[in-house]
Amino acid sequence: MESFFQKQSGHFSIEDVYCKFHITDTHKPIVVSFAGAGDFIKTQRTKLGVSPWGFEFIKKNGGNVISFAAIDASNWYRNAKFESFLEHVTAYIADFPSRLGYGGSMGGYGVSAFSNKLRLDRVLLINPVSTLNKIQVPWERRFLSGATRYDWNSGCFDGRHITATGYVVYDPLHKFDKRHAHRYGENIKHLRVYGVGHSMARHLQSMGMLGKLYRDFVNDSIDEHDFYVNARARRYIDQYYKRQLATFNRRLTPARKEIIDKHYTAIKRKRLLESLGIVDVNNSPLAELTMQSTISQEDRGLSGACNDALLRIGSLNKDLNFETSWERGLEFIKKGGFKYYKKVHLVKVLNAEKIVLNGTFDAKRPSNGFILGFLSSLHQNLGTVLVSKGFTLKNIDGLPAEQIKRINDLRLSIRQ
C-alpha cells in the first residue's frame, strides 16, 4: 500500500474511509487530520477527488497533509482493514521531521485513538470524543448510532491512552466535551473557551482564532495567555449568546437574562450599522421610541420625527397597497434604503433600545404596511427591540391569509 504515496498528491479509499494527501516538502512537518461526524463524504464524490475536512486549510498553510474522512456515514473509523492500513501510513511518515495530528469531535477521536499507532509527536484535539465504549464513558448519551453499530472493544478504541503531547480545546460548560477532555493525561494541555458549546472549530473560525492557533501549533509556539485574550472575541459571535440564553442554562436568572439580552442587542446593532456603512452614530442608544399610525401636534418630539419619516417614506408610492408596502418595508434595510434616507432620523430608529408600537394601524393605508414591514425587519435583525403597547390593526379582512399570518407572527414575536 506504500504505492499510494509515491506521487506528490492523490486520493483513494480504504473500504469506508477516504484519504487525500499532498506533500510539498519532506523536510517540513506532516499533519494527519481526521474529519468529524458531520463531514463524511458520499461515495460518488470520492471519485472526484474532493477534499476532506481540514485538507485545504492545512494545504493553504503550506503543510504536508494526509486527510481522512468517513464515506457515506459517520463510521468512527472503526474498520479493522483501515486500522491495519495505518501501519503503512506510519512507515511512510516516519522520516518526516515531526508528525502532527489534527481533528475535532469524531476526528478528535481518530487522532487520539490512532496517535500511538501513527507515532505522532504532537496533536491538536478540538472538542474530541475520546471513545464511545460504554464501559469507559457510560455518561455519553450522544452518538448512540455510532456507539451501538460499531465494535468498541478491540483495536484502537480509546484515545485516552495517547502518549503524544499536545492540546485539547473545548468548552468546559459543555458537560460531555468537558468529561472527554478530562480523560486525557497530563501530556495533553487544556485550552478552554467558555460558553460556545460543541463545533469548536467553527466557533474558533468565527472568532478569527483558528488560523493562528493552528499555525502556532505546527510551530510548537502556542502562547496560552494570548489564546485566552483572543478568546474574549466569543462575546461577538451569536452562538455565545444563544447558549447563554438557552433554556438548558441553569444559571440564567431573569436579571442575568436582561443583561445578556442588552449586550447581545448592542452587538447586533453594531454589526448592522457597520453593514450599512453607518459610523457616525451616538454610542449611547436611545432608551425608547414610540411608533404609531398617526402623529398629533403633541407628538412632535424625537419619536414623532422618526415616526413621521417612516410614514412619509412609506407613502411615497401611491400605487402600492398594504401588502406590497409591507414587502417594501421588509426589504428596506437589506436593499440599502438607509443610503438615501440617512438624514431623516432613520439611524436614530436603529439606535433605539426599545421601540413601542402604539395605537391603531389601518390596513387600508399603504404607509402603515411599510412601517410595520420595516419594523418587522428591524426586529429580525436586532432581536427583542419591538414592544407591544396598545397596538391594534384594523381592516385586515381583505388581506391575503399569508399576510395575516405574518402580522400575527409579528405580534407573537414582539415582547408583550
H or E stretch at 390:
strand 386-394
**Three cell numbers at 107?**
476526528
Give 3-state DSSP helix, strand, coil % of the chain, rounded to 5: 45, 15, 40
- Is the pLDDT reported for residue 199 higher than 60? yes
CB contact at 8 A, 139 and 118: no
pLDDT, residue 1, reads: 44
Q: Residues 72-115: pLDDT tens digits?
A: 999 999 999 999 999 999 999 999 999 999 999 999 999 999 99
Which domains are present in the chain? 9-245 (3.40.50.1820), 284-414 (no CATH)
Q: What is the distance, to the nearest Å, from the Cα of residue 68 to the centroid of all Cα atoms in its chain?
A: 23
Q: What's the CA dihedral at 198, 200, 201, 205 to 10 degrees?
A: 120
Is the model's pTM score more than 0.75? Answer: yes
Q: Residues 404-413: pLDDT tens digits?
A: 888 888 888 8
- Judged by DSSP in three states, 153 sits in coil
| DSSP-assigned states of every residue in 270-333 | HHHHHHTT---S-SS-BS-EEE-S---GGG-SHHHHHHHHHHHHHTS-TT--HHHHHHHHHHTT
